[in-house]
Chains A and B, each alone.
Chain A
Amino acid sequence: MMRRLLVAVAAAFSLAALAAVAQERVVNVYNWSDYIDPKVLEEFTRETGIKVRYDVFDSNEVLETKVLAGKSGYDVIVPSQTYLNRMIQADVLLKLDPSKIPNLKHAWPEITRRLATYDPGNAHAVNYMWGTTGIGYNVGKIKERLGTTPIDTWNLVFRPENLAKFKNCGIHMLDAADEMIPAALKFLGIDPDSKKTADIEKAGALLMQLRGNVKKFHSSEYINALAGGEICLVVGWSGDIFQARNRAKEAAAKTGKPAVEIDYALPKEGALMWFDSFAIPKDAEHVEEAHIFINFMMRPEIAARNTNFVAYASGNLEAQKFVDKEILNNRSIYPDQATFKLLYTVTPYAQDVQRVVTRVWTRVKSGR
């Protein structure tokens, strides 16, 4: 939290400094942490002469709070699905000018179509990366406890007797009601997008049985916890889990100790899809530069380089020609057709339903 605060303060100072040199062309980008190949940014500046002022966040809530507070100072932001939708409802996002983003033609039609659930008519956002919410695990510790039983199923998480097997090596879950409740509903065979109070309560009751085994509900701490061997199982975001895998490798390289082996499983029953997409706030000062930036990022070669760097699937279909085979063939990153059909999206909760969800979720977290 303090780190976010420091980032925010640093950002405020740098923006003030930038305002002083108004002549220089700049674009202020606010993206997720560890989410881009830094060389791509250098290349953008070299080619366009537009300086990139790049800041990072690690939660959608922080992004939304800043943008809704107004005058965030950012020209390009990267909200995820439901947050994107709330920002559109709050009328704080600019309608993009497609004529300034000719590279939109490389977008992945299927992804664009699904993104329209959150951005009607695809008027405000261009997908950058997408992924799924599934199971991250410590390969060694899970094998010890499971043997050859498959891990790519929600049975592992949502059957209390199964989950209990991993209690003694540490379990984390996302602190995100709008991800965990749909996943529980999916397991129960109920429509994950259900907005009925009774269904949400059922999901809550299931999660309530599991909570005793869960060490912590948190949306970012699991990256380090998984990499450091503090936990062995997490319901988390695909990309974060791959990031944990990389951190474990880096740590092993530094210390010379054997690396903690980490992997991600996409449950075969289906999983929630998430989309991180470029958008421009209405109060952005460099709208022209923001469009140029988004267009640059949509170049297939550039999009592929980012995917190769961070190991998430790109929303850019043409980019697949340039994506490393290792990533393209990883079924947990680029699922096969059969799995792809099982991936689902959910629509945002209305304000009154959101209250119910919040209550149920707080009860789950605190056990009361």
Chain B
Amino acid sequence: MRRLSARANDIGRSRLVVAGPYLWLLLFFLAPFLIVLKISVSHDVIAQPPYAPVLDPSKGWAGMREFVGGLDLQNYAYVFGDAIFHESVLQSLVIAAVSTLIILLIGYPIAYGMARAPRRLRPLLLIAVILPFWTSFLIRVYAWMGILAREGFLNQTLRALGLIDEPLELLSTNTAVYIGIVYSYLPFMVLPLYAVLEKTDESLLEAAADLGAPPWKSFWLVTFPLSLPGIVAGSLLCFIPAVGEFVIPDLLGGSETLMLGKTLWTEFSVNRSWTVSAAVAVLMLIVLVGPILVYQHMQARSFEGGR
């Protein structure tokens, strides 16, 4: 009996602990999301606020009914029928996926090298990967504008070396967007990969070698499969934010760059349509729910596996 009640007490306490984060999410995620959702089913008007209808509690039930009657899905219909939006979704997914692949190809050898480095060097290497975070993300992207510009650092260097005669057009192109994303998100790939690779049991590799496997084969049959969770985690950590990236396509991209984050910004800040931009925001969230769920699932499984 005593043990049972103690357990009930424990459950009560742990519920209380769990309530904290839930309350946080409710207040700072769900409530704002509902507001955005509401705006997305409203209409643009030239007024303050620039959408209608607005709920007026003083009008009671009739006002409520009028309010609900004024909502519809026309913004979604508009966005769905809009070639620009289709193109933005497609381009965002392609740019994010290709960038993630490039990041993986660059990040894997880095993480592998770090995990195989002498133990005393590893903290130093880890700091080197994290170091860029000490400078603001925005400033680092601005720095790339300086590097890639027509009269920028890269073109000047290449010209000084005699490798090119005419400056390369890099800034304001999709190539610059790729460079920006690969550079910015590389640490998000290296860190989870390193965490997994570092834990790899070296005796497994010794066993493989003893059984006659050449190094490439033991890498492919032992190390690589064991690092899969790190690959998936790192890829999702890069892919998910890259899809919604705004700063990089805005600063480094050109007129052909159409990514969701930029389309959303254009709808809000240039076209000043709060309602259409809210609809785009909701749709962007839906596009990202799939990969986020996969990531959550992976995390949960690796927690369970660790226990």
Q: Which residues of A are at the interface with B, using a C-beta cutoff of 8 A?
A: 1-2, 59, 61-62, 64-65, 67-70, 86, 89-92, 168, 170, 175, 211, 214-217, 228-230, 351, 358, 362-363, 365-368
Contact = CB atoms under 8 A, between A and B. Distances in A.
A62 B266 CA distance: 12
Given A89-B46, A216-B172, A365-B255, A358 B271 contact: yes
Interface of B: 44-50, 83-84, 87, 138, 149-151, 166, 169, 171-172, 246-247, 250, 254-256, 258, 265-266, 268-272
Given A89-B46, A90-B50, A216-B254, A230 B151 contact: yes
B270 A61 contact: yes
A255 B275 CA distance: 48
Contacts of A62: 269
Nearest to A86: B46
A23 B271 CA distance: 40
B49 A211 contact: no
B249 to A, nearest CB: 11
What is the interface of chain B mostly: helix, strand, loop, or mixed? loop
17 contacts: A1-B250, A1-B265, A62-B269, A68-B50, A69-B49, A86-B46, A90-B46, A168-B166, A214-B255, A215-B172, A230-B150, A230-B171, A351-B45, A365-B255, A366-B84, A366-B87, A366-B258
Q: Which 9 A-B pairs have the closest CB atoms?
A: A89-B46, A68-B50, A2-B138, A90-B46, A61-B269, A90-B47, A216-B172, A92-B48, A358-B271
A320 to B, nearest CB: 36
Given A215-B255, A228-B149, A368-B83, 20 more contacts: A61-B269, A61-B270, A62-B269, A64-B272, A67-B48, A68-B49, A69-B48, A89-B46, A91-B48, A170-B150, A216-B172, A229-B151, A230-B149, A230-B171, A362-B84, A362-B266, A363-B84, A366-B84, A366-B87, A367-B255
Contact of B87 (A168, A170, A368): A368
A128 to B, nearest CB: 23
Contacts of B171: 230
A67 B138 CA distance: 27
B87 A351 contact: no
A137 B219 CA distance: 58
A2 B83 CA distance: 28
A216 B249 CA distance: 12
B84 A2 contact: no
A12 B258 CA distance: 32
A229 B270 CA distance: 27
Contacts of B47: 68, 90-91
